[in-house]
Copies of this chain bind each other. A is one copy, B any other.
Amino acid sequence: MTTVAVPEPSADLLRLATGVRQASTLLGQTEDHQRQDALASMANALERHADRIVAANREDLEQASAEGLAPALMARLKLDSGKLTGAIEGVRQVAGLPDPLGVRQLHRELDDGLVLERVSVPLGVLGVIFEARPDAVIQIASLAIRSGNGAILKGGSEANRTNRAVIEALKDGLVTSAVSEDALALLTTRQESLALLRLDGLVDLIIPRGSNELVRFIQDNTRIPVLGHADGVCHLYVDAQVDMTQALRIAIDSKTQYPAACNAIETLLVHQDSAPAFLAEAIPAFRAAGVRLLGDARSQALGVEDAASEDDWGREYLDLILAVKVVSDLEEALEHIRRYGSRHTEAIASTDTATAERFLRAVDSAGVYHNCSTRFADGFRYGFGAEVGISTQTLPPRGPVGLEGLVTYRYRLRGDGHIAADFAEGRRCFSHRDLAA
């Protein structure tokens, strides 16, 4: 547990959150085309405000550079006109996604004239806390509005000027739409973003996009449900029966295609029967790709130079480092994943379908893959159009979370004077007859 104190919300914050809540209640009752129009207006407004946004971003970049922000963070902070154009295109794509609201999931007659339905509805208000990535503000705001949710956003302070300019543009767009501009709000101080955690009853879901420490701190300090994952310790298991060339291709892609992503592998498990031949090819290939390997005793005996410590098995490197272990059989691989994995995404490379299917059934992660890269664990790649993040929680929404993960459901029951006593006392019986969708 950390010692940072979570302050009580200020009167200003309560007023702001109440305003977002009220706007979201109306937003939740809008029609599909009204929300599509709102996104179109938001995209148009971003185009109108483009120069102002890019200029604000240049100021943020100058200050961050003067303060010595790391190059990787500078790259994320940057929002030039090319990146902005891409983000605006993203808003229009989200507008075109199917409406996640009003989907009837259940339709059942309970008795003559007493009909139950379960219908998808928005969550209400999202609280989103993220690092200095201004394009994320645009993406999350468009997903929120498309799914009928209000959003209170808090971006990294390095991006404060950019975020303000972006939110101003988005609100300016909403003004000419059926959605109130109050549905979006930006927080700019750290105190406010901490107090956001206390807004249960006003905020329905917290979405943290940041470090593991940030996610854990939030989970420990709020009653509001938190969507997110603390770690992405993904595994690739190379089976005894395997197409070596294909397995190596998958291993290299899973580790190196974007090593800072949560869906990159951190540990490679290799069956003892394929280990000599596989590692003979893999070790030089990883070396050529700039990957440092850390191995157990058996993989070291086969040429991995450095030793992995016990701590390495559960570590998320997010870097060009890979832990390697030789296992005696599938069971040992499964047990290793159970013990050290983070239930994000695991893959098996195998030409034996029976073994692969056992792996797919036994591994309890959000994604379990056969003969493909773990890097596919992503909302765009799954065809969701966009994502707010990837959840490693067990309860839904799990895995990459798109629009569908931002809705819940409500039961509606329509009767004609039906009372429970009639059923409790045997005068009437439930029919429980499912009706056409």
Q: Tell me if A110 and B376 are in contact (CB < 8 A).
A: yes
Chain A 398-430, CB-CB to B under 8 Å as 1, else 0, gives: 110000000011111111111111011000001
| Neighbouring B residues of A219 by C-beta, 8 Å | 223
CA distance A225 to B246 in the complex (A): 39
CA distance A48 to B165 in the complex (A): 72
A360 interface residue (CB < 8 Å to B)? yes
| Neighbouring B residues of A364 by C-beta, 8 Å | 25, 28, 121, 124, 410
Q: Tell me if A396 and B409 are in contact (CB < 8 A).
A: yes
Q: Tell me if B410 and A257 are in contact (CB < 8 A).
A: no
CA distance A243 to B252 in the complex (A): 71
Q: Tell me if B108 and A432 are in contact (CB < 8 A).
A: no
CA distance A25 to B364 in the complex (A): 8
Q: Interface range on chain A: under 10, 10 to 19, 20 to 34, or 35 or more? A: 35 or more
CA distance A366 to B119 in the complex (A): 10
CA distance A28 to B358 in the complex (A): 12
A36 interface residue (CB < 8 Å to B)? no
A365-B110 contact in complex given A225-B395, A421-B257, C-beta closer than 8 Å:
no
A352 interface residue (CB < 8 Å to B)? no
CA distance A367 to B116 in the complex (A): 10
Partner of A366, one of B204, B243, B411, B417: B411
Distance (whole angstroms) from the CB of A309 to the closest CB of chain B: 21
CA distance A108 to B376 in the complex (A): 13
| Neighbouring B residues of A15 by C-beta, 8 Å | none
| Neighbouring B residues of A362 by C-beta, 8 Å | 25, 29
CA distance A373 to B417 in the complex (A): 8
Partner of A420, one of B225, B373, B398: B373
Q: Tell me if A110 and B225 are in contact (CB < 8 A).
A: no
A419-B373 contact in complex given A25-B364, A204-B394, C-beta closer than 8 Å:
yes
Q: Tell me if A376 and B420 are in contact (CB < 8 A).
A: yes
Q: Tell me if B257 and A420 are in contact (CB < 8 A).
A: yes
| Neighbouring B residues of A25 by C-beta, 8 Å | 338, 362, 364
A381-B417 contact in complex given A110-B376, A205-B395, A394-B124, C-beta closer than 8 Å:
no
Distance (whole angstroms) from the CB of A405 to the closest CB of chain B: 9
A residues with CB within 8 A of B: 25, 28-29, 108, 110, 114, 116, 121, 123-124, 204-205, 219-220, 223, 225, 243, 246, 249-250, 252-254, 257-258, 338, 356, 360-362, 364-373, 375-377, 381-383, 393-396, 398-399, 408-421, 423-424, 430, 432
28 A-B pairs in the complex with CB atoms less than 8 angstroms apart: A25-B362, A29-B362, A110-B376, A110-B383, A114-B372, A114-B376, A116-B382, A123-B394, A124-B394, A225-B225, A246-B417, A250-B417, A253-B420, A257-B421, A360-B412, A364-B410, A366-B410, A370-B415, A371-B417, A372-B415, A372-B418, A373-B420, A375-B419, A376-B420, A381-B423, A382-B411, A383-B432, A396-B409
User: Given contacts A124-B394, A252-B419, could you give 20 more A-B pairs where the C-beta distance is less than 8 Å?
Assistant: A29-B362, A114-B376, A116-B382, A124-B364, A219-B223, A225-B395, A243-B417, A249-B417, A257-B421, A257-B424, A360-B414, A367-B410, A367-B413, A368-B411, A369-B412, A371-B414, A372-B417, A394-B408, A395-B408, A398-B410
Q: Which 4 residue pairs across A and B have the least CB separation, nearest first?
A: A372-B415, A375-B420, A253-B419, A383-B432
